[in-house]
Structure formats: C-alpha cells, structure tokens
Amino acid sequence: MTTNRQPTASQLGRRRSLALNKGTESYQERRNEIAKVAAEIFNKRGFKGTSLSAVADALGTDRASLYYYIANKRELFDEVVREVSEANVATAEAVLAQDAPALEKLRTLVVALMSSYAAHYPLLYVYIRENLSHVESDRTAWSKYMRSLNHRYEEVFTAIVQEGIDDGTIRPLASAQVLAFGIIGMIGWTNRWFVPQKSAESAETIGTAFAELALGGLVA
C-alpha cells in the first residue's frame, strides 16, 4: 500500500540544506527564477503584502514546492535585496572607474541611487530601515555580507568626493566621508515620503534635483 503524503517541514529543510550545499547549477537557476518573480511581487505589494502563495501562483506551482528552494518569505526577501544591492555596488564601482570629472561622477551616482530606490520600491526602503546588528541567528551571514556591501558602496562614494577635493573642484567643508554620508543620507531620507506611483515627479527628476542641491553647496 502506498501513500501520497507530502514531506514534512523538517524533511524539506534537510533536503533544502543538502541541495544548497551541493550547489548544482539547475538548483541555483531555479532559486534565481523564484527570486526574480518574488522581486516583482514585492515591488507591487510590499513585504507585508507578499505571501509565498502569491509567489507560487505567479510561478505556476504550489507553495510546498517552494520550500525545497526557500525556507520562508524573509529568506526570499533577503535574497532579492542582496542581488539589488550587489547591482548598486557594481554600478557605483563602474562610475568610479569612469574617465570623468568628480562632480559629474557624483551627479551620475546620485541619480542612479534614487532611480534604484524607485525601480525596486519598496524593497530598498524596507532594507535601509533594517538594523543589521540585531538580526535573527539564521540571518547572521546575510547581515555580515550586506554590511560589507554597504561599506563598499560608501567607500566608492567617499572616493569620488575625495577626487573632487584633491582636484580642487569640491570644497573641503568636512572630510570626504562626512560629505559622502551626508549626500547618501539625503537620498535615503526619501523613504519617508517618496512613493513612485503617487509622486508627481520621477525618481530621475528628484535625483537630479538632489544632485544639483548637494553639488551646488560643494562646488569650489
């Protein structure tokens, strides 16, 4: 006599751990596919409004099948935010490497960051409110990695400001790091009021205005 019992949560957890450790290409491709679809739903519904069932429906599968690839909604959110943050760091590093004046690099980077907040709304806004020093034990590795990404991004921003100070185009009103953090903070504060679907002005317009506002006070 055979039964069609579904695997238990603990059994799925063990299978998921084994698959992650094995790291086959097909398994990772499926995880990436799930993360991509989830990102679209997070963008539309926000973190609270997104369920694993909704992600499963969008993928044309059942919720139980997702547990083989992802433990819960939080892990899925972390995966998506990690990918977006990595992309932002890559963009920043590419801007730093450009053969362009420091002021132009800063202007490009400010607009790019604001545009990223809008393109992935509200994922990054939820993320910047995270206290990465106080997370669940199962998110420690993710938290450590995300802090390293944050540091890399801040280093790039600071390096560009330092370029401007060194070539005399930016006034040394404070250290390059303080000036960089001030600009990043100004953009991050938009999490309190910017909603792409309701905003009369686009993220690019706002980013450009912020760039001019910040640089207008820095230009030597």
Supply the mean pLDDT for the chain: 87
> For the segment 163-192, what is each residue's pLDDT rounded down to a tens digit?
999 999 999 999 999 999 999 999 999 999
* pLDDT given at position 27: 82
Q: Which residue has the higher pLDDT, 10 or 141?
A: 141
At 127, the amino acid letter reads Y
Q: Do domains 9-71 and 74-218 have the same CATH topology?
A: no
Q: How far is CA 6 from CA 12, 36, 62, in A?
A: 10, 26, 12
Print the SS3 string covering 200-215.
CCCHHHHHHHHHHHHH
Beta bridge partners, 170, equal: 219
DSSP H helical segments within 98-220, as ranges? 102-119, 123-128, 140-167, 176-188, 203-218
Dihedral (C-alpha) 80, 86, 90, 92: value to the nearest 10 degrees? Answer: 100
> For the segment 110-135, what is each residue's pLDDT rounded down to a tens digit?
999 999 999 888 888 888 887 777 77
| CATH classification code of 74-218 | 1.10.357.10
* pLDDT given at position 174: 97
For 9-71, give the CATH class: mainly alpha
| Rg, C-alpha atoms of the chain | 21
> For the segment 44-92, what is each residue's pLDDT rounded down to a tens digit?
787 778 899 999 999 999 888 888 888 888 888 888 889 899 999 999 9
Instruction: Map out the domains of the chain as residue ranges.
Output: 9-71, 74-218
